[in-house]
Amino acid sequence: MAVSMLTGCSGRPDNAKNNSAADDSKKKTEKVELTVWAGAEDREYLKKVADNFIKEHSSEADISIIHKDMVEGECRSNLLGNVLKGADVYTTTDGDISAIAAGGAADPVKNADTVKNENLASAVKAVTVNNTIYGYPITADNGYFLYYNKKYLKASDVKSLDRILSIAAKNNKKFAMDWTSGWYLYAFYGQTGLKVKLNKDGVTNSCNWNSTQNQIKGTDVANSLIRIGKNKGFENTTDWLTGIKKGKVIACVSGIWDEAAIKKMYGKNYAAAMLPAYNCNGKKVQMSTYFGYKMLGVNPYSKNKEWAHKLAQYISNEDNQKLRFEMRGQGPSNIKAGNADEIKKSQAVQAILAQQTYSELQRLGGNFWTPSSNLGKALANNSISGNLQNYLDKIVKQINASTVQ
């Protein structure tokens, strides 16, 4: 882990030792050292926030803050592996906070009402475990939406996937999306009534993507995807950026992490919107997204737990979420920050916030990923031999398996 001292101590200079006892008593403050786990890409941002935090509390404590690089997805395993050596404040995701809390490595938030009042209700739900809030939300942007080229597509066009595909094919261009990942493939299932979810055991899945009973059946979705996969305007790929750069891709499904690159390549024709609707056996179905949140947690074994909570709340406040957007381009969970003019001007942030209405938290067991990837590739390539229903039954059996496949 890379370590950086975000700020130095702010104690008295040596020449202050000769001050009177009364004066010394007034100036004396407690020493507080806090460690923060966060991604390497947050170093510059956290350095600025830490400096401001120390200035605001300089009369209360002699504070130093140390940043240690930690990938958010690896926070859970590192923290639960040895919570006593964990950071005072750590950055994690909504998908891991339940396990961290269950493992006794998350301290309940002290000002729960403040978190509830200041953040999106969905973000609050994401940090709540068994009716207790265990984290301070800092972003609400981990999902996907549509990027498109205004040279070819109008705002009215991108409401319909069929329309996008038609225009792309007509111009010998592509709509690009990754069907090799179940994370993206879920987009076609989220609003159909067909579900996949994590069981109460926290390990296995319950999936009915093969249903023959629902109003929209599993084969209805599968046949729609096979039809899309055959369209000359569609490309199943993980590398839409190269396609955009070469002028071939005029629309793609991705997240806010690609905004800077796509905005640069599309230039004045850059645009973003929520996902379109697609045709499923004569029904118009809105495409969905898995939606995630980042948050700060506090280690219950912190030697400076009260200060750790103060720092976590400070990093997650309105002003610092605005600063996070300014420096990192990340969408805020704080309601007032999300309504700021500069954030309202971000098409990507507004697109993901609009898409949030058609989203759910990702709660999935490990057996979901390989079968769903195989399903996506088979549908995109129209490579399913034999009975389609039988194939879906096999895939769903693998997703729902009680042991690792």
Buried b (16+ CB within 10 A) or exposed e, 59-77: eebbbbbbbbebebeebbe
Q: Which pLDDT value is given to residue 200?
A: 87
Residue scoring higher pLDDT (223 or 6): 223
**Whether the Cβ atoms of residue 122 and residue 295 lie closer than 8 Å to each other:** no
Residue 284 near residue 359 (C-beta atoms within 8 A): no
Query: Would you say residue 267 has pLDDT above 90?
Result: yes
List CB contacts of 353: < 8 A, sequence separation 6 or more. 140, 331, 338
pLDDT (tens digit per residue) in 315-345:
999 999 999 999 998 999 999 999 999 898 9
Query: Checking DSSP bridges between strand 30-38 and strand 89-93, what pairing results, if any?
Result: parallel
DSSP 109-142: PS-HHHHHHHB-HHHHHHTEETTEE--EEEEEEE
Contact 330, 162 (CB under 8 A): no
Under 8 Å between Cβ of 92 and 293? no
Residue 332, CA atoms < 13 Å, CB-side half-sphere:
27
Task: Compute the distance between CA of residue 210 and CA of residue 384 in angstroms, rounded to an integer.
Answer: 14
Tell me the β-bridge partners of 296: 91, 136
Give the model's pLDDT for residue 386. Answer: 92
- For 105-126, the pLDDT digits (tens) are 999 998 999 999 999 998 999 9
Q: Is 196 exposed, middle or buried (0-12, 13-18, 19+ CB in 10 A)?
A: buried
Place of tokens 């179905």: 285
pLDDT score for 203:
87
Cα–Cα distance measured from residue 336 to residue 74, given in angstroms and rounded to the nearest whole number: 30
- DSSP helix/strand/coil, 322: helix
List the one residue out of 349, 331, 355, 366 whose CA is nearest residue 95: 366
pLDDT at 22: 45
Place of tokens 């950086």: 4
> In a 10 Å sphere around its CB, with 0-12 CB exposed, 13-18 middle and 19+ buried, how is residue 382 labelled?
exposed
Q: For the chain, what is the mean pLDDT?
A: 92
